[in-house]
Chains A and B, each alone.
Chain A
């Protein structure tokens, strides 16, 4: 993984000292709250319902064991012994004291981490496929490009005060596990240039929130070395034409929607023509230097089949189920990527106790070449695990309460913090997720239902990705009461779609039953066990679900 050079270390240290000074001046009264607020936000510090919240950047969701252990230490020392992994592959602490945040940032800097650009109208943490560098189906590893974009966009003077926040996601596989089509810019690294060279398919203007839109393809191929010039061209067009008069119409998706992708493409191409071949051209040696940080680990030469795994699978069907759901094909024979579910029955999606973080750090060091990933689905990933090691790894996960075999099942719920923590929320998300996970806890039933993603947001900002849930739940405030609107048919991947509202909303005590009704309707109408929920919905439309929920 990427390692800081002297410049990076000095930059983060200086930034920490700068924020320490700003906190001291705020407490001493030299800065008012109005003056201080934008400064704290630039360092990832929000004021939520109960306390300050610190959002820590996890660049493209990649952590080492040492970094994870530091996060555990911070949660134990400065917070309430847990952390919350988010849909942007970041980590949030919900209870830090303002006075102690400079000390937390200093601790983070020791392990090459920070909270810069986790808030504000700038280019945010770049996200990627959580199986990057490991997945059998990828054209190439997207992480070097995520790192190059991170370096280009960090404190970029021209793009530090954009009309609104700006999110970039990059994947190296045609199978989109990074939800790139619901980002401001989505990049798909693929072969398609001269002599089968690599470059990027570029999507622009996707996003969720109050105006959910699937991104449009703005260019089918940008050669690798011209990526930054093309991104800069897009950002320049957005910075110039993006609306600043209305916060709700300021995202680039609105610009693309109002002007049309063809007009925006023309403007971007004009900028690109000026920029290409200039200082933003990425020299091959610079790219190779970054790529070297992400070189594949020293995989052993192994047979694709593991006798140890086969024997353990036969001996323990629960283990077998976990392997079937929570492992993903790896490019190296004899290896898999492991999903560590942060969705135990009745648990809080994305939360991990500090002791669990320590255990994951140990497991990464022992079994996964010291690599951990955070998925946008709020789980943790060990990307490179030998199949032979799965039984031993699983035994540790069972002891730690981390062995739920539900990746991609209905209980693998994405949920935002909602009204339990968030100052923007209208309704609670987590308790709905907890009740749904309890309702569908039965392993046989989940297996029968199969692939089904369920996503919950506590307000229209859609941090819980409800618009792209096969079943999406949006919490609203109706005359002081929590109400939940259900959408069906959303999808986050290469078949991205925005879910359709199924009908009138449900009260808190009705919504879990409503979801069960939807699931039962699917089970009744699917053509076979092989037809997943989303395929059945696309075939059937919403009519049978409406009839089951509301009557004819």
Chain B
């Protein structure tokens, strides 16, 4: 069950193209800064319910909550895996990080 001392957001991959998305106040967004912050257990339950609806409506797959840090300059995932999901591969060269796409 949700740990209310943490700030979290709900993330998933979009069904049609697999791109990383976050649950925002107005549906799913690829902009982490627009993600809805999950601060309480009640928030978590609401977000997870929205995730299940997103799955049922075939918008997204595999929703789960991630820990983030919300500062004035934006939202930052705590785990490296999620930072890479948010910002793209760290490998440079010909590797183009995924461009933010419209939700």
Which A residues have a C-beta under 8 Å from some C-beta of B?
26-27, 29, 33, 47-52, 80-82, 95, 97-99, 346-348, 351, 353, 419-421, 428, 430-431, 434, 480, 482
Contacts and interface: CB of A to CB of B under 8 A. Distances in A.
Contacts of B74: none
Nearest to B57: A29
A25 to B, nearest CB: 11
Contact of A431 (B55, B58, B90): B90
Contact of A51 (B18, B78, B95, B96): B18
B81 A47 contact: no
A127 B82 CA distance: 34
B6 interface: no
25 contacts: A33-B61, A47-B13, A47-B18, A49-B20, A49-B84, A49-B85, A50-B19, A51-B13, A51-B18, A51-B98, A52-B17, A81-B94, A82-B94, A95-B98, A97-B17, A98-B16, A98-B18, A99-B16, A348-B94, A419-B80, A421-B89, A430-B91, A431-B90, A434-B93, A480-B78
A97 B89 contact: no
Contacts of A52: 17-18
A98 B91 contact: no
Contacts of B88: 50
Interface in B63-89: 78-81, 84-85, 88-89
Among all A-B residue pairs, the 8 with the closest Cβ atoms: A97-B17, A420-B89, A52-B18, A51-B18, A430-B91, A82-B94, A49-B85, A33-B61
A431 B61 contact: no
A430 B80 CA distance: 15
Interface of B: 13, 15-20, 55, 58, 61-62, 78-81, 84-85, 88-96, 98
Contacts of A51: 13, 17-19, 98
Q: Dominant SS at the B interface?
A: loop
Nearest to A353: B94
B94 A97 contact: no
A357 B90 CA distance: 23
B93 A482 contact: no
A82 B92 CA distance: 13
A346 B93 contact: yes
B17 A99 contact: yes
Given A51-B19, A351-B93, 14 more contacts: A26-B58, A33-B55, A47-B13, A50-B19, A52-B17, A98-B18, A99-B17, A348-B94, A420-B90, A420-B95, A428-B90, A430-B90, A431-B90, A431-B91
A337 to B, nearest CB: 26
A416 to B, nearest CB: 12
A348 B15 contact: no
